[in-house]
Amino acid sequence: MVENPERLAAVGPINPATGFPLWYRDANGIRLEQALSTADPNTPAVGDPQTFTSSRPGAPGTLPDESFYWLAEARMVTGGGARRGRSRVVLGLEATFGGTGAVADGQQIVFARIRFRIDDGQPGGTYVITHPFGETGPMTADDRGRVFETEDIGVAPLQFEGALAGHVAPFLRWTSGADRAAGEADPPAGYLGDGDTAHTITGSPFGTNFVRIVGPNISEGNGPRDPGDPSNPNKAFTRLFTVQGRLATVIGVTLERATYARDAAGAVKVDVFATSEPGQTLTASGPGLPTTPLVGNGTSYYARIDAGTTVPATVTVTNAGDAPPSTATADVTDAIEVSQADYNPGTQTLTVTAASSDAIGAPALTVSGADLIDSPPGSTAAVSAPPATVTVTSTLGGSTSRAVSGVG
């Protein structure tokens, strides 16, 4: 077995309407968005619309039960069994829903899939498949000559970075220009393929822009022979894939944190932390706040805003480069600084010291952690063994964790 060492590079901000990421990006800089419309002729692989249960502002009334950021498939008529069979390789980045499978907010999943299927091969036969992302096998057919193997990575609701660990990278795309085969077309503008036409592809990190299946009589009769070994009936081969993938047109923004500091004189300053792709034009605004540009460094963006003497309830960050501009909004909270989280094994005491960034708001602070009874900072708790970390939470919304250190 040969596994692909490449990985997708990044996942984009959350689409505030659907709860799915706006895009996924590979190491080549190709950024693909989720294909949700059954009206798009170049993204035919879209599931049936279902009622979308969500209170999100701007949420659509329906979403498909499955959809794709990217999908590539290769199919062949093959042999080896009592009758002509079929073989299929599916490579994809799929969006669906967990739990009961209902199209419900909070159950959004995106996973990377590699799937192999051989029907009507030789019962008990062994098969090895070389494909754009590696080599898999040997796999043994069941008593009906079937091979069915699936690798799904990232199948946990709302854990969208999990799909980045999958092996479907970089995104395969149609060959174009001088590289395409005779009679083939370039991909439609804004797409990696038309989702329906079998076409030669490029992008394999191994240079294996094909599928080769090695197994007993897999290409018997008029089956697709390996051009490198055309007389061998134990090898089937194709360079043709259908490819679906739509280039992302919205970059978006993630508002990571919005906190404030209020000094003893009542002056308020708001700190805004956001992430997006490099080179974006981001601004922050909110009730009583001047519209303020964020300074970027790579994917990180920041602004400190003079808010006068009033703490705004929310801050909105806008990416003006999107059309229409995309936004992300978050509540403004105080910031918590934990200056001490010390455990003394001799006295079996855990001491936590923390303070809020609001010098006059006098919020109540609470310390929590595994096996701890919540208590205010400054008190000394008797515990036989401390948690690895403690979290201090403010009644003004702030929260910070710190690793516990041993002393004494």
CA distance 377 to 96: 43
Q: How much is the pLDDT for 81? A: 76
CA distance 214 to 217: 9
Q: What percent of the chain has pLDDT over 70?
A: 98
Q: How confident is the model at residue 222 (pLDDT cuts 50, 70, 90)?
A: low
Beta-sheet strand order (sheet of 300-306): 295-297, 300-306, 268-275, 254-262, 333-334
Q: What percent of the chain has pLDDT over 90?
A: 88
CA distance 370 to 263: 33
Beta-sheet strand order (sheet of 389-394): 365-368, 389-394, 399-403
Render pLDDT for 248-270 as a digit per residue (tens, 0 to 9): 999 999 999 999 999 999 999 99
Q: How confident is the model at residue 189 (pLDDT cuts 50, 70, 90)?
A: very high
Ranking 64-68, 321-325, 383-387 by mean pLDDT, the lowest is: 383-387
Domain 254-333 CATH class label: mainly beta
Residue 173 has, within 13 A of its CA and on its CB side, a CA count of 22
CB atoms within 10 A of CB 388: 9
Q: How confident is the model at residue 59 (pLDDT cuts 50, 70, 90)?
A: very high
Q: How much is the pLDDT for 371? A: 82
Q: How much is the pLDDT for 84? A: 83
Within 321-368, strands assigned E span 326-331, 333-334, 336-344, 349-356, 365-368
What is the identity of the amino acid at 297?
N
Do 301 and 252 touch, CB atoms closer than 8 A? no
For residue 379, pLDDT over 80 is answered with: no
What are residue 165's phi and psi, to 5 degrees?
A: -80, -5
Give the tokens for residue 52.
Answer: 């979308």
Reported residue count of the chain is: 408
Residue whose structure tokens are 């992430």:
275
Q: How much is the pLDDT for 406? A: 95
Q: How much is the pLDDT for 86? A: 92
For residue 375, pLDDT over 80 is answered with: no
Mean pLDDT of 157-186: 97
What is the rounded average pLDDT for all residues in the chain?
94
What are residue 216's phi and psi, to 5 degrees?
A: -60, 115
Sorted by where each begins, the domain ranges of the chain are: 2-247, 254-333, 336-406
For residue 380, pLDDT over 70 is answered with: no
Q: How much is the pLDDT for 47? A: 95
Select from 61, 252, 267, 93 the least CA-distant residue to 169: 93
DSSP letters for 368-388: E-TTPPPB-TTSEEE-SS--S
